[in-house]
Structure 1
Amino acid sequence: MNCTSRASKIKIFIVCWLCACSIGWAQEKTLRGNLQNRTDVEGIHVINLSLNERTITNEDGSFRIPVRANDTLFFSSLKYQPQTTVITQEIYKDGFLEITLQELVNELDEVLILPRLSGDIEKDLQRIEIIDTINFYDVGIPGFLGVQEEKIPNLMGQVIAPTAVNLEGLYKYISGYYRKLKLRRKWDVENSTIENLTNSYGAAFFEEAFQIPEDRLYEFLLFCIETTDIERDFRIENYNGVWEALTRSASEYRSRLPKKEE
Structure 2
Amino acid sequence: MKKLLFLLTFLLSLTAWSQEPELIEGKVLNSANDEPLENVNIVNLNSVRGATTTEDGSFKVRAAVNDTLYFSYLGFKSIRVRVTNDWLRFGDIKVKMTELGIALEEVVIRPVQLTGYIEVDAKLIPVYDDYRYRIEGIGSGYEGGDKSPGAVSKVLSSIFNPADFLYNVFGKRPKQMRKLRKMKEDDEIKNLLQSKYDRETLMAVLQLEKVDIDEILNKCNYSKNFITTANDLQILDAISDCYEEYRVLNRGKE
Category of TM-score, reference length = shorter chain: 0.3 to 0.5
Q: TM-score, normalised by structure 1?
A: 0.44
Compare relative contact order (CA 8 Å, sep 6+) and give the higher one, 1 or 2: 2
Larger radius of gyration, structure 1 or 2? 1
Q: Which has the higher helix share?
A: 1
Q: TM-score, normalised by structure 2?
A: 0.45
